[in-house]
Every structure is written in C-alpha cells, then in structure tokens.
Amino acid sequence: MNQCKRILTAITFSMLFGSDSSVLADTVTMNYLVVDTLATPFQITDQGESRGGIISRLVDAIAQDVGFTVHPVVSSPERISKLANENHLVPWISYDAKPWNSLTPNGEILAEPLFDVRHVLLTCRDNLIALEELSKSDFEGLNVAILKGFHYPELTAMEKRGSLSLTIVRDYNQGFTMTRLGRVDGFVEMSTRLKYNLRSLNQQSSCFRLLDADVLIAPYPIFLSVNRNMPEHLRNRILTSIKQLKKGGKIKRIIEHYTRD
C-alpha cells in the first residue's frame, strides 16, 4: 500500500509541475544582481536603484517571457561577487564573461551568448594617436587607468611582468579627467561602455582618441549567469527565451537603444 501511495504521489507531482514548468516559474522571485554606477549602459542605476540598461531590459524581457518576478539587488562589484555566493539570495541572475568568471564558485554561465564586446584605449598621447593601429609592444611601459572592481586578465598579467602599470579609478569621470590631464597614458574599457559614458557625462575633449585594443584584449561574448543550483527546468526556459529574443532581434534593438549617437 505504501509503495502504491508513493507512486501515486510522484505521478501527481509530475502532472502538476513536470509538464508545465511555468507553474513553478510563476512563483519565483528572481534576485537580479546589479553593479551600482560602474556598469552603464549594461546596468544603469540612480541613488542605489536599478534604472534600466542593456542587461536589465533583457532580464525584464526574459522575466516576462518565463514568468518570474525580478527583484533588483544593487551593490558594488565586490559586494555583488560576495552576494552571489551567499545561499540566502538564491535564485539569482546577473551577467558575466568567461575571462572574468567573477561570480564563481556558485555562479554558472549560461550556454547561450548575448552579444560580443570589444575593448578600446582612450588616450590623449600624441605618440599613440599617430599609430595606425596598436600592437602589443605599444602597451609596454604605459600607465593605464582601469575601473575599480573590474578585472582585465591580460592587463594584470602585463603588470605582474612589469610591462605596464595600472591605475585604479573610482569611476568614469576620474578616468576621463586623468586621461585628459595626462596623468595616465590612457583608459582601457569596453567600447560600448566608454562611448556611452563619454556622451552621457558630457566628457568631450579635442584630445580624446579611441584606439582599438583587440590586439591585447580579444573580443569576447557576454552571458547571463545564474546560481549553480537553479532548477534545471527554469534554467532551460531562460536559455530558450534568450534564443527567441536573439532570433526576433530584441537583443539587437535593446543594444541599439543605448548605443546610437
């Protein structure tokens, strides 16, 4: 009798939840990890509140498709990494890239890439601007600004070898100012983020030039990342939604909204 009862219970559970995972998804509140201030236009914040951005709008679109509720959690990059590994915040979703792997050990990068990013060097140095394109040797001996809390393995490796020096800046404004005043040789960042912040912060200067840094930091894709023990059906529905959003051109339209001149 007990054996039959267990079988019937399993069948009932499967009928309720296994055939339509949206029944479970509808009950989920998803913690969305947002980097405060420094990740624009991927994640835009104002006074500690999430205010859209490429990744944020994408997560909202997926939430509408899959059926979960988004709860933004806004904090510094260091704090976000710590929160990702605290079990009381699950389930969570954010974004990551394989060169960073910043949300391990409890984060899992989803298999479907969102879009590719490229890096540039913002500089006012005449000797760099005169170059048709940068080679790896052109970075030798430079003092380069990077944002606090973000990791650039290629630059870190060069710094460890003594090939260049890194100056940590607290925000984009400081990076732009130090570049304009010649206190650093340049400011390395993603092209999308740098261009957006130059425009939105009205930081224009006749000396500014953007030089392609692909030779040092190869282009790579951005992914969504979720907590490693997220239920498989929910993870799979998020992946399916990403594929559908890409196929329908939604991701491209979101990116264009934040990157058009």
Q: Write down the pTM of the prediction.
A: 0.86
In DSSP terms, 115 is beta-bridged to: 222
Alpha-carbon 246 to chain mean position: 17
Decide which of 87 and 61 is more confident. Answer: 61
Q: pLDDT at position 186, please?
A: 98
Exposure letters 9-37 (e unless 16+ CB within 10 A, then b): eeeeeeeeeeeebeebbeeeebbbbbbbb
> Are residue 161 and residue 101 in the same domain, yes or no?
no
Domain presence at residue 186: yes
Q: Average pLDDT of 155-180?
A: 96
Are residue 195 and residue 130 in the same domain, yes or no? yes
Quick one: 234 exposed, middle or buried, by C-beta within 10 A (0-12, 13-18, 19+)? buried
Same domain, yes or no: 22 and 38: yes
Whether residues 102 and 19 share a domain: the answer is yes
**Which of 146-155, 180-189, 199-208 is most confident?**
180-189
Task: Say yes or no: 15 and 35 in one domain.
Answer: yes
250 lies in some domain:
yes
Q: Of 190, 212, 234, at which residue does a domain stop?
A: 212
Mean pLDDT for the stretch of residues 230-254? 96
Which 3-state string (H, E, C) describes 80-122?
A: HHHHHCCHHHCCEEEEECCCCCCCCCCEEECCCCCEEECEEEE
- Identify whether residues 53 and 9 lie together within a single domain: yes
Residues 94, 43 within the same domain:
yes
Average pLDDT (171-175) is: 95
> For residue 43, is pLDDT > 60?
yes
- Residue 44: inside a domain, yes or no? yes
Contact between residue 103 and residue 73 where contact means Cβ atoms under 8 Å apart: no
Long-range contacts of 213-218 (CB under 8 A, 24+ apart): 213/118, 213/119, 213/120, 213/121, 213/134, 213/188, 214/118, 214/119, 215/133, 215/134, 215/135, 215/136, 216/119, 216/134, 216/136, 216/139, 216/154, 216/155, 217/119, 217/152, 217/154, 217/155, 217/188
Least confident of 2-16, 17-31, 226-240: 2-16
For residue 3, pLDDT over 60 is answered with: no
**Confidence tier at 118 by pLDDT (50, 70, 90):** very high
Specify the pLDDT at position 132.
Answer: 85
To the nearest 10°, report the CA torsion of 14, 241, 152, 32: -70
Q: What percentage of the chain exceeds 70 in pLDDT?
A: 90
* Residues 132, 255 within the same domain: no
Q: Tell me: pLDDT of 9 over 90.
A: no
Q: Are residues 157 and 32 in the same domain?
A: no
Mean model confidence pLDDT for the chain = 89
Cβ pair 144, 121 in contact under 8 A: yes
Query: Residue 19: its pLDDT value, please?
Result: 38
Query: Residues 19, 110: one domain?
Result: yes
Residue 217 lies in a domain: no
Do both 131 and 85 map to the same domain? Answer: no
**Number of structural domains found in the chain:** 2
Q: What is the pLDDT of residue 203?
A: 82
Would you say residue 226 has pLDDT above 90? Answer: yes
Q: Do 70 and 192 fall within a single domain?
A: no
Expressed as residue numbers, the domain containing 175 is 119-212
Is the pLDDT confidence value at 18 over 60?
A: no
CATH number for the domain that contains residue 41: 3.40.190.10
